[in-house]
Amino acid sequence: MAALPPSLPPMDSSDAFNPDFSPDLPAGTHANGQSGQPPPDAPTPAPLDAVAPANATLPLDERAQVHDVLHSDIGVVTLLSRLKASVASARDFAGFLKRRGATEEEHANSLKKLSRLTLENMRKTEARHESYQLQFEQVMHANERIADNGTQFGLALHAMHENLLQLATKMDASRKTWKQAGLAAETKVQEAEKLAEKAKAKYDQLAEDLDRVKTGDTGAGRKFGLKGPKSAAQHEEDLHRKVQAADQDYASKVQTAQSFRKELVATSRPQAVAAMVDLIREIDAALTMEMQKYASFNEKLVVNNGQVVSPHALQGGGTAQAPPSLNSLIYQINNEHDFDEYVLKQASRVPSVRSDLQYTKHPTLAQTQPQPASASWQPSGAASSARQVQANQPPAHSLAQSDAVNAHAHSQQQSQPSSLPEPVQLPSYQSYATGGHPPPQQQQAPPQQYHSQAQSQLPQFSGAPVYSPLAQNPYSQSPDYPRGPAGQATAQQSSGVTYNANPAPPVKPIFGVSLDDLFRRDGSPVPLVVYQCIQAVDLYGLEVEGIYRIPGTSSHIQAMKALFDSDASQVDFRNPEAFQQDVNSVAGLLKQFFRELPDPLLTKDFYSKFIEAARIDDDTMRRDSMHALINALPDPNYATLRAILLHLYRVQQASEVNRMSTANLGICWAPSIMGPHKGNVMADAGLQARVIITILDNVLQIFDED
């Protein structure tokens, strides 16, 4: 029976890894609660000792043949090659353990960082709280425990790598020692045997010459000495003397070679063979043990991660309840209760109850107001005028604005006599808002009646925004224009909308205001002007050649800017008439908004970091560096950047039509998004464009497309 391979002593550095991941359990207790015993229904694993070594299963004759080969002249060389292969295998597996451990640690660190970042975002005031926050925090803590398991697993693999690498280095040094000693003994014997063979060849040659001289063979010839030719007797005597000397030399060299070989076979070779066999078995046993530990650590890592995801009750653990699984944590989120609780928290902010507003005519106007001939009679056009006013109301108007418009229509019905034409229609409001002049129908009315109408109309709109057809619902009044350039071509060339040449001071300015201030004031992380312009270009500009490269009309851009600074909620760019079918001006307006930001979209603080990231040559490292910087941006900047970059991604998808590739968009948008250059103008311009191009190329990896 062959001896079992030698086992290595336990390695202390690997004991730092706790495969059970259960620090609260007593020693020797598995995660299932049993002390060193598998669960009853678990399959019984085969013991390691049940698998016999490969050489123990060989027949006796083959085992004897293995012994003969090892103790032959090629035994030392064979063992040296086998030991070299074992050392190389140990180094390869140690390198695998190092890379696998580094991967696990990197994954665990990334998971921890993501969990911490998610917890910080969840605890912000603008995030959802209540049961969602409570359960989601537990889910994130479970992810942190999984990350801890991965960290411990990576550290254990690193310790195994160090031990295995140290053992391989030791074995390599021992191999060199025995290679020198074993091969030196083998070489000594081989050289002695070669000298003996040479002495034998010389002895044989001289013996043959002596035999020919004795038999009178003339082929041997006469030998010449210093005093002339030798006689046959002298020649025979000389050869006889040489044969005796060669015989003695041959015998001594054979005796020396035999003694060297006897020493080699009896002492040197068995020592070298036994030592190298022990080295091979030791490193093979160590490699197998490390592989078994690796397999065991993998199994227990998966099992303990499974215990985190879906814990099971501990057997023999008393009445202790198993912690909830991730699935049960998610199911404990009560959306209805969270909604009701959130609304109830706002109860203290409800304004005091106000009495219903009622229309009361001023006494001075009531005295001069003409009365109709019959109280029950109503012009046929009055009802239609009121209905038209209600139908043309913009969806963004409040209830107070709606009441004001109805009251205005009612005052017109009461003030106009039956002899006048139908009441003034909706375009009169447009005339007041854009030009300040009454419509032709009102100009035909008598001065006294016109003055009465003006006095009854103006106070009703003093507290409401000026109505503009730019805020009309395009799906109720405007024709349904097709998207793209065809929508601009089929739309009327003159929309009837005129911009005020002398706009009033901004009421709620948008341009030149920081994203943080807009977010605090309006409550929207993406400014309304950005949303409207993106919507217009998506609908009508994706197939326009040179979009964002060809400038728009300056007067149109300034007029639309004034509208947004006045009241952005009244602007609706779904109707191409709202921007005079000039989508290039909408594109220019969007770029101008970003250029006028006090702090650029990517912020001055992050400018140098983005430039340094753009200098990275490796595409993956450059993308990951920029992804990390984007995640660190303030919330309004992140949301706005996501909206504009996903929009530009849709623009470049139609590059075959609009001729705006990723490179063209990067060149056009880099100054607007990143701000002015800080270093060398030409160098910074290329790096700025590279920042935008990199984000556009990886926009779906950096942002989601929802």
DSSP-derived secondary structure for 343-356: HHHTGGGPPPP-PP
- Which among 529, 142, 547, 97 has a CA at the least distance from the CA of 328? 142
CA-CA distance, 646 to 695, in Å (whole number)? 10
The per-residue pLDDT for range 346-384, each reduced to its tens digit, is 888 887 766 677 788 777 776 544 444 443 334 334 333
pLDDT for residue 60? 84
Question: What pTM did the predictor assign?
Answer: 0.40
Query: Do 19 and 304 touch, CB atoms closer than 8 A?
Result: yes
In this prediction, residue 503 carries a pLDDT of 55
Domain count, the chain: 2
pLDDT: is 118 or 360 the higher one? 118
From CA 418, how far away is CA 374, in angstroms rounded? 10
Above 80 in pLDDT, residue 34?
Answer: no
Q: What is the pLDDT of residues 655-703, one digit of tens each?
A: 999 999 999 999 999 999 998 877 666 677 889 999 999 999 999 999 9
Can you tell me the distance from the alpha carbon of 549 to that of 545, in angstroms, rounded to the nearest whole number? 9
Q: What is the mean pLDDT of residues 406-428?
A: 38
Most confident residue range from 32-41, 340-349, 480-489, 544-553: 544-553
Question: Which range among 202-211, 213-222, 479-488, 605-614 has the greatest average pLDDT?
Answer: 605-614
The residue from 245, 279, 309 where one domain ends is: 309
Residues paired with residue 29 on neighbouring β-strands, in sequence order? 35
CA-CA-CA-CA dihedral for 105, 107, 109, 114, to nearest 10: -170
Residue 545, strand partner residues:
none
Given this model, what pLDDT does residue 375 score?
38
Give the residue with greater pLDDT, 251 vs 404.
Answer: 251
In a domain, 446, yes or no: no
End-of-domain residue from the set 280, 309, 338: 309
Confirm whether 324 is domain-assigned: no
Q: What is the pLDDT of residue 641?
A: 96
Q: Packing angle between helix 583-595 and helix 528-540, nearest 10 degrees?
A: 150
Task: Output the pLDDT for position 397.
Answer: 36
Does residue 96 form part of some domain? yes
Contact 213, 300 (CB under 8 A): no
Residues recorded for the chain = 706
Element (H, E) at 647: helix 635-653
pLDDT for res 319:
58
Average pLDDT over residues 633-642: 95
**What is the reported pLDDT for 355?**
66
Answer whether residue 592 is part of any domain.
yes
- Tokens representing 418 are 């039956």
Residue type, 53: P
pLDDT at residue 190 greater than cutoff 90: no
Q: What is the DSSP string of 249-305?
A: HHHHHHHHHHHHHHHIIIIIHHHHHHHHHHHHHHHHHHHHHHHHHHHHHHHHHHHHH
H runs (alpha helix) in 461-524? 485-490, 515-522
The rounded mean pLDDT for the chain is: 74
The answer to which of 11-15, 254-258, 312-316, 542-546 has the lowest mean pLDDT is 11-15
Segment 598-614 shows an average pLDDT of 94
Q: What are the tokens at 375? A: 């109280």
Q: Could you tell me if 161 and 98 are in contact, meaning their C-beta atoms sit under 8 angstroms apart? A: yes
Most confident of 4-8, 146-150, 176-180, 405-409: 146-150
Any domain includes 630: yes
pLDDT at 53: 52
What CATH number does the domain containing 196 carry? 1.20.1270.60
The values of phi and psi at residue 11, to 5°, are -100, 120
Q: What is the CATH classification number for the domain harbouring 532? A: 1.10.555.10
> Is residue 537 situated within a structural domain?
yes
The pLDDT of 192-214, averaged and rounded, is 86
pLDDT band, residue 109 (cuts 50/70/90): very high
Percent pLDDT > 90 in the chain is 36
Q: Which whole-number Å values give the CA distances from 472 to 409, 529, 564, in the listed order?
A: 18, 17, 15
State the DSSP string of 73-128: TTHHHHHHHHHHHHHHHHHHHHHHHHHHHHHHHHHHHHHHHHHHHHHHHHTSTTS-
Mean pLDDT of 571-592: 91
- Return d(Cα 308, Cα 24) in angstroms, integer: 14
Residue 506 lies inside a defined structural domain of this protein: no
- Which residue, chain included where needed, has tokens 């390691």? 48
What digits encode the pLDDT tens for the residues 77-91? 899 999 999 999 999
| Cα–Cα distance, 706 to 310 (Å, whole number) | 30
The residue that leads in pLDDT, 20 or 191, is 191
Q: Is pLDDT above 60 for 49?
A: no
pLDDT on residue 462: 35
**DSSP β-bridge partners for residue 229:** 224
> Do the domain assignments include residue 463?
no
pLDDT at residue 97, as a whole number: 93
Q: Residues 282-301: pLDDT tens digits?
A: 999 999 999 999 999 999 99
| Distance, CA of 273 to CA of 249 (rounded, Å) | 33
Listed residues 309, 324, 352: the one ending a domain: 309
Q: How far apart are CA 560 and CA 582, in angstroms?
A: 11
Domain with 547 in it: 515-701
Residue 260 banded pLDDT, cuts 50, 70, 90: confident
Residues 420-479: pLDDT tens digits?
Answer: 334 333 333 333 333 333 333 333 333 333 333 333 333 333 333 333 333 333 333 344
